[in-house]
Amino acid sequence: MFCINLESTNPFFNLAVDEYLLKNNNEDFLILGINEPSVIIGKHQVVHREVDTRVVTEYDIPVIRRISGGGTVFHDKGNLNFSFILKSEPGKQVDFRKYTFPVIEFLSSIGVKAKLEGKNDLKVNGLKISGNSEHVYHDRVLHHGTLLYDTDINMLKGAIRSDTSKYKTRAVGSNPSPVTNLINVLKAALKNGDDILAFKSLMMEWFLRNISGSETYVLSGAQSHAIMELAATKYITWEWNYAYGPEYYFNNRFVFRRNEISCHLFVKEGVIKECEFKGSGEFETAEKRLIGCRHMVKDIQEVLEKGKLLAAGFDVYNLF
């Protein structure tokens, strides 16, 4: 197995690494990487249903869709991401226990007793430290997961939406669980100065030492160029991250200028196809203008400002 220690912290590039090596190489890989703050959603999810749109917009946190299913996770520089890309027998390709076993073994070697609980979570003392997902491509499997080492738990909780009741959709939902950082479990064993980079090195060294045939691997210039192209043409695009998700209905009630307003949106391929407001005549023009608009904060703001609609005191996040 080839072991890659990614130096990049660009989440668009790092997600593209997984897909590129899955589809353009026949070797087995372990990839370890750390990302800048970002929210990573499952392939079959709706962005605005899974993330707190106000938080990710105001903090300029990118939301990126991965090619595997499962729920939404938060990445930052306190979170270690691991990916396995391995050949697998037909009929035995989706196997969370198989692919998380070596991670559990590694954690055990440093004194952390982790267990696979539910379908795809690693937990310590009942608290989640890792979410995992998989994607099958021909005879190969991409299994990737997170390890919360010293992530910003407050930002994690803030960026991921807790109340999804305003959204109705067939999209896959997330299954939130109470979480903890590994640093809280490891405090007694840590040396002064130990940080996530030291933890990353420790994990890489364990795999190189304990998995037969493992060796380090560095991406070539040609591979890195192809991965950057994939990131630019797919992972950074609105079409992949927002428009790809399933259609959905959004319903909300809010107060505007002392009137209780009800809002109904139907969004398909990221674009508002139906828009209805009840409770105030001021919204009639906005209804027509918003049909055909992308369901994005900036796009809606531009439509409302251009038409001088609802400019005074209207909170655009009422529509998310």
* Structure confidence at residue 76 (pLDDT): 98
Which pairing describes strands 215-216 and 2-5: parallel, antiparallel, or unpaired?
A: parallel
Dump the DSSP string for 255-313: EETTEEEEEEEEEETTEEEEEEEES-GGGHHHHHHHTTSBSSHHHHHHHHHHTT-STTT
Q: How far apart are the C-alpha atoms of 59 and 63, rounded to whole Å? A: 12
Q: Which residues contact 230 (CB under 8 A, 6 or more apart)?
A: 16, 19, 20
- Asked if 159 and 294 sit in the same domain, the reply is no
Residue-wise pLDDT tens for the chain (320 aa)? 999 999 999 999 999 999 999 999 999 999 999 999 999 999 999 999 999 999 999 999 999 999 999 899 999 999 999 999 999 877 667 778 888 999 999 999 999 999 998 878 999 999 999 999 999 999 999 999 999 999 999 999 999 999 999 999 998 888 788 999 999 888 656 665 578 999 999 999 999 999 999 999 999 999 999 999 999 999 999 999 999 989 999 999 999 888 899 999 999 999 999 999 998 887 888 888 999 999 999 999 998 888 676 666 789 999 99
- Asked if 175 and 315 sit in the same domain, the reply is no
- Asked if 138 and 180 sit in the same domain, the reply is yes
> Which of 224, 243, 262 is the endpoint of a domain?
243
Locate 116 and state its tokens: 């696979």
- Asked if 27 and 6 sit in the same domain, the reply is yes
- Asked if 279 and 213 sit in the same domain, the reply is no
- Asked if 63 and 159 sit in the same domain, the reply is yes
Locate 78 and state its tokens: 């306190």
Locate 161 and state its tokens: 């939406």
- Asked if 56 and 183 sit in the same domain, the reply is yes
Q: What is the CATH number of the domain that holds 265?
A: 3.30.390.50
Q: What is the CATH number of the domain that holds 35?
A: 3.30.930.10
Q: Which residues contact 189 (CB under 8 A, 6 or more apart)?
A: 110, 111
- Asked if 65 and 136 sit in the same domain, the reply is yes
> Which of 190, 213, 243 is the endpoint of a domain?
243
Looking at residue 125, the DSSP 8-state letter turns out to be T
- Asked if 77 and 154 sit in the same domain, the reply is yes
- Looking at the structure of the chain, the number of domains it has is 2
- Asked if 229 and 300 sit in the same domain, the reply is no
- Asked if 190 and 283 sit in the same domain, the reply is no
What global pTM score does this model have?
A: 0.93
The residues pairing with 278 across neighbouring beta strands, listed in sequence order, are 262
* Structure confidence at residue 310 (pLDDT): 65
- Asked if 177 and 270 sit in the same domain, the reply is no
Q: Print the domain residue range for 117.
A: 2-243
